[in-house]
Structure 1
Amino acid sequence: MKVLITGATGMIGQELVVFLLKNNVKVNYLSTSKDKLVSKENYKGYYWNPIANDIDLKAFEGVSVIYHLAGATVAKRWTSFYKKEILESRILPTKLLFTTLQNNSHQVNQIVSASAVGIYPDSLEFIYNEENKNVDASFLGKVVQKWENEVDAFNALNILVSKIRIGIVLSNKGGALPKIVAPIKYGFGATFGSGSQSQSWIHIDDLIHIFHFVTSNKLEGVYNAISPYPISNKEMTMAIAKFLKRPLWLPNIPKLVMKLILGEMYILLFSSQNVSALKILNQGYQFKYATIDKALISLLK
């Protein structure tokens, strides 16, 4: 089996590549940086430039599945310029993949695209599943909606479309966890606002296995990739502090303070999405790290 990965050099992409190669899956990947292209027997890089509609057609040779992970990080101050980059880094690559497959012969039968639970409205009350049609009014909610709509276009090519809505990814190699751990480790940990906002999270290993599970079982449609046990911001902070044996003595950080520091991006810390994992569980997926305690033992030991 051979797959094509976009965003292969990101945190999630790198872990997915390692997993696939260990399982004897051949990997092609697309990169906008020619310096990051390598050519090995089972791992080959190809250049693309979505802004210029430029792509190496050799990347698709023998490929049956596309893992589409490309997209600029949202964990960077949302200036008007950067908001444009966040959106275009998801829309333009998706359009280029679609038109390339539309206009050329290929063997692709499934695209598995990253998405985000940020599409769900901010709420302290609702538990969201994949059937929910409401979209959060924030910039992030609108980005995810437009992103998913572009991915849906592949249905017209008779390609199976799978969208993985990802929560907070916990990894010791990057992402949110090191940033959460650092202040707690040095005695400056604190919850944000009331701390009651739900944080739907997932261990990096479970996320990678869900991508593979969706492919192996040819699952179509939207799937939430989050632990079956979302926790509040306060519970997350307390669990990490307990594991590190550090006190939490600072008062909660007010929303206004973080809004002044981070600008519009502050919603990443204060938005609440309690998201259900029941759909993927009903398909037979078994989480290795279902609870935050198991996840922290794995990542912080």
Structure 2
Amino acid sequence: MKNILITGGSGLIGKALTKHLESEGKSVAWLSRSPDKQPQKCYEWNIKEGYIDEAALAWADAIIHLAGASVADERWTAERKELIIKSRTESAELIFQKLKNLDSRPRVFVSASGSNYYGLDNGAKWLNEEDPAGDDFLSEVVVAWENAGKKIASLGLRTVFLRTGVVLDAAGGALSQMLQPPVAAPLGSGNQYMSWIHIEDLARMYAHSLKNGHVSGIYNAVAPHPATNKHLTKAAAKQKGKPYLGIPVAGFILRIALGEMAGMILGSNKISCDKMLSAGFKFKYATVEHALKEIYGNAS
């Protein structure tokens, strides 16, 4: 499997994944609305117009689907919620429609998904892939997202969904938000569990899913040891060399500032990666301390 086509390749995960796959000798191309403006080999697509360059699907041995509007960039107005869902489902539907009409198709489809599937707050209960979906907005997003991808599985492609937790990376994402204030502090009670993964391990997990034919279906893309918000914030502040204040930011303040989105921060999810471990994946960064040491350049 040589040629890998990525949607959403210009994002945080897409860039890290592209770098990793190319280091393994893969040829990587992105689907982009503006292929001439990207630093990567690109093919054009336009979801609104229902267009994908036919050469892209003929070239690809596998498709990795990362495209989707961020759930954390803006408050969840009705319009934003609609965009969050449609950006995931309509893009997958377009890929399905184009693949359906091909005689020769890529062999594998690996889709991003979200650990928010299980709901915003499950306390300290361990969650696995067999647990039911929650009943909040993000659960609705993930269910619709995966259902759209499952249509592609009906075409005979080996299909994998990676329910991704909080991605830790120096270039952006959760850590940059947590450490943005002058003083780092836990949020809410600070005792809520955050199921996280180092971005390098996430890229390696996608590569593992591509290479191994026995990997199929839904997997939690999280590290083996979830951390509480307090633990993660304190450890990150230490590695970053930033002051840490143990007095938490009250939940009601976050709800005023973020609205419904605050549930992503205040809720607790303790998610198991046992299924992925059983599929032969080995984590490079299994603990928060090890992950943060690497991210902030303090790894020994």
Q: TM-score, normalised by structure 2?
A: 0.94
Distance 2:229 2:246 in 1: 15
The answer for the alignment partner of 1:33 in structure 2 is 34
Match of 2:208 among 196, 200, 213: 213
SS for the counterpart of 2:100 is helix
> Matched residue pairs, number?
293
The answer for the alignment partner of 1:129 in structure 2 is 128
Superposed displacement of residue 26, structure 1: 1.2
Superposed displacement of residue 37, structure 1: 4.4
The one-letter code matched in structure 2 to 1:150 is: A
Distance 1:176 1:36 in 2: 27
Deviation larger for 235-244 or 97-106: 235-244
Cα contact 1:171–1:204 (8 A) shared by 2: yes
Cα contact 2:226–2:271 (8 A) shared by 1: yes
**1:49-128 → structure 2 map (5 Å cutoff):** 49-76=46-73, 77-121=75-119, 122-128=121-127
Cα contact 1:37–1:46 (8 A) shared by 2: no
**1:104-183 → structure 2 map (5 Å cutoff):** 104-121=102-119, 122-132=121-131, 134-183=132-181
Q: Structure 2 regions of 5+ residues with no counterpart? A: none
C-alpha spacing 1:107/1:300, structure 2 compared with 1 (3 Å)? same
SS for the counterpart of 2:83 is helix
SS for the counterpart of 1:112 is strand
Cα contact 2:124–2:193 (8 A) shared by 1: no
Distance 1:16 1:207 in 2: 8
Distance 2:97 2:106 in 1: 13
Q: Structure 1 regions of 5+ residues with no counterpart? A: none
The answer for the alignment partner of 1:271 in structure 2 is 267
Cα shift readout 1:56-76 (whole Å, capped 9, x = no counterpart): 111112312100000111112
The answer for the alignment partner of 1:239 in structure 2 is 235
C-alpha spacing 1:32/1:236, structure 2 compared with 1 (3 Å)? same
Cα contact 2:6–2:63 (8 A) shared by 1: yes
C-alpha spacing 1:55/1:62, structure 2 compared with 1 (3 Å)? closer
Superposed displacement of residue 181, structure 1: 2.1
SS for the counterpart of 2:180 is helix
Superposed displacement of residue 105, structure 1: 2.7
Superposed displacement of residue 163, structure 1: 0.2
Cα contact 1:60–1:106 (8 A) shared by 2: no
Cα shift readout 1:42-87 (whole Å, capped 9, x = no counterpart): x521111112211111111231210000011111221221111111
C-alpha spacing 1:242/1:27, structure 2 compared with 1 (3 Å)? closer
Superposed displacement of residue 243, structure 1: 2.6
The answer for the alignment partner of 1:288 in structure 2 is 284
SS for the counterpart of 2:59 is coil
Distance 1:72 1:6 in 2: 12
Distance 1:52 1:245 in 2: 48
SS for the counterpart of 1:61 is helix
Deviation larger for 153-162 or 241-250: 241-250
The answer for the alignment partner of 2:294 in structure 1 is 298
Distance 1:8 1:35 in 2: 14
Distance 2:238 2:269 in 1: 24
Cα contact 2:189–2:251 (8 A) shared by 1: no
Root mean square deviation of aligned Cα: 1.5
SS for the counterpart of 1:111 is strand
1:229 matches 2:230: no
The one-letter code matched in structure 1 to 2:219 is: Y
Identity of aligned residues (%): 37
Distance 1:267 1:232 in 2: 15
Distance 2:49 2:32 in 1: 14
C-alpha spacing 1:234/1:227, structure 2 compared with 1 (3 Å)? same
Cα shift readout 1:89-139 (whole Å, capped 9, x = no counterpart): 10110000000000123331110000010001321131111111x112111
Distance 1:107 1:62 in 2: 9
SS for the counterpart of 2:159 is strand
Deviation larger for 45-54 or 247-256: 247-256
Distance 1:12 1:257 in 2: 30
Distance 1:56 1:244 in 2: 44
